């Protein structure tokens, strides 16, 4: 929080200083300074974005990067109306957003900056080690209600999920509950507990042997057990890791994106190039996300 505030204060100070210089051109929409980058969007990417910004500003003291969350939709919206130069997204830009962008004369450019795997977690005492996607889907949609149906003890299943406004929730709904089928209208069972934070899910799973939850691999702590997941019934069951996400064998993984309005230039281009460098991708693994393969 204090880091975030610090960056914000720096940004505000920067804005004030540029204000002193005056703006003879009268172009109010122009970025406050060529060295300022506003990055807004996916809550999944906030911590990573902050770590990148901090490191980059340590390397290039003249850079001013502010990072805020709010959700992927909010970030892309801000990019399209010109309030930020960089939108972080936990999903690809939608057709509708692309149309709005083109109507406004903006051609969004996409960068895959990291990968995220969603880990399915249970209490460490739960004997269940692995589940297929179909089983997880049946658990969350309410078809399976007892752990004994998937090889566990005779205990009721308590389903935990993030709130429906989180990108992780939507991704889990599409990739796991509906198993990627467009026409599938499967929903979360109404009994699913919707918790407002990742920490809430970890806290409940680590305490409650009945619980099953999911969360970004980056948020999983050692006091919960991560399950191996298979795409179909007869395996292979794969634990999420950097390796299994990169070679595509872990089934619940996704790319994380950054979008710019038009081809990036100047410092923005430099920043994005740096993000894709081995140094910056090291931060990705440090925060529990999965780095993208670096092209040389």
The residues that touch another protein, with contacts defined as CB under 8 A, are: 70-71, 73-74, 155-156, 158, 163-165, 170, 185, 187-188, 190-196, 200, 203-204, 207-208, 210-211
Joined tokens for residue 55: 């490191």
Q: How far is the CB of 130 from another protein (least distance, A)?
A: 23
Q: How far is the CB of 73 from another protein (least distance, A)?
A: 7
- Interatomic CA distance for residues 110 and 258, integer angstroms: 6
- Interatomic CA distance for residues 171 and 217, integer angstroms: 14
Q: Find the DSSP H helices in 173-277.
A: 198-207, 242-246, 266-275
Q: How far is the CB of 161 from another protein (least distance, A)?
A: 9
Q: How far is the CB of 7 from another protein (least distance, A)?
A: 21
- Measured from the CB atom, is 71 or 264 closer to another protein? 71
- Interatomic CA distance for residues 252 and 227, integer angstroms: 12
37 Cβ partners below 8 Å, 6+ apart?
53, 63, 64, 65, 66, 85, 86, 267, 268, 271
Q: Strand (E) positions, the chain?
A: 36-41, 64-68, 86-89, 108-122, 130-132, 158-162, 193-195, 211-216, 225-226, 228-230, 253-261
Q: How far is the CB of 164 from another protein (least distance, A)?
A: 5
- Measured from the CB atom, is 36 or 161 closer to another protein? 161
Q: What angle do CA 234, 236, 240 make, to 5 degrees?
A: 135
Joined tokens for residue 243: 């390796």
Q: What angle do CA 250, 235, 285 make, to 5 degrees?
A: 15
Q: How far is the CB of 200 from another protein (least distance, A)?
A: 7
Q: How far is the CB of 292 from another protein (least distance, A)?
A: 27
Joined tokens for residue 141: 């949609």
Q: How far is the CB of 187 from another protein (least distance, A)?
A: 6
- Measured from the CB atom, is 164 or 285 closer to another protein? 164
- Name the 3-class secondary structure at 151: coil
- Measured from the CB atom, is 160 or 272 closer to another protein? 160
- Measured from the CB atom, is 110 or 163 closer to another protein? 163
- Measured from the CB atom, is 63 or 224 closer to another protein? 224
- Measured from the CB atom, is 10 or 74 closer to another protein? 74
- Measured from the CB atom, is 25 or 190 closer to another protein? 190
- Interatomic CA distance for residues 159 and 223, integer angstroms: 18
Q: Which residue in 76, 53, 67, 293 sits closest to 167, CA to CA?
A: 76
């Amino acid at each position: 929080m204090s880091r975030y505030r610090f960056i914000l204060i720096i940004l505000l100070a920067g804005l004030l200083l540029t204000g002193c210089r005056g703006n003879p051109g009268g172009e109010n929409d122009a970025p406050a300074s060529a060295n300022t980058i506003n990055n807004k969007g996916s809550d999944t990417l906030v911590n990573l974005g902050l770590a990148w910004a901090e490191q980059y500003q340590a390397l290039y003291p003249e850079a001013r990067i502010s990072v805020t969350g709010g959700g992927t939709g909010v970030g892309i919206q801000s990019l399209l109306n010109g309030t930020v130069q960089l939108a972080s997204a936990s999903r690809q830009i939608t057709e509708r957003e692309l149309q709005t962008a083109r109507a406004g004369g903006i051609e969004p450019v996409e960068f895959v900056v990291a990968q995220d795997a969603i880990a399915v977690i249970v209490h460490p005492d739960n004997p269940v080690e692995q589940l297929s996607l179909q089983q997880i889907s049946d658990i969350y949609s309410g078809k399976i209600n007892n752990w004994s149906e998937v090889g566990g003890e005779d205990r009721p299943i308590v389903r935990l999920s993030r709130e429906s406004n989180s990108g992780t929730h939507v991704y889990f709904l599409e990739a796991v509950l509906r198993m990627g089928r467009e026409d599938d209208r499967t929903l979360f069972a109404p009994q699913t507990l919707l918790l407002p934070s990742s920490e809430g899910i970890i806290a409940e799973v680590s305490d409650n042997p009945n619980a099953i939850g999911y969360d970004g691999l980056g948020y999983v702590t050692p006091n919960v057990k991560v399950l191996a997941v298979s795409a179909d019934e007869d395996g292979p069951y794969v634990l999420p890791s950097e390796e299994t996400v990169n070679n595509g064998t872990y089934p619940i993984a996704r790319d994380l994106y950054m979008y710019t309005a038009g081809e990036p230039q100047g410092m923005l281009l430099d920043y994005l190039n740096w993000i894709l460098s081995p140094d910056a991708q090291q931060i990705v693994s440090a925060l529990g996300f999965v780095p993208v393969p670096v092209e040389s």
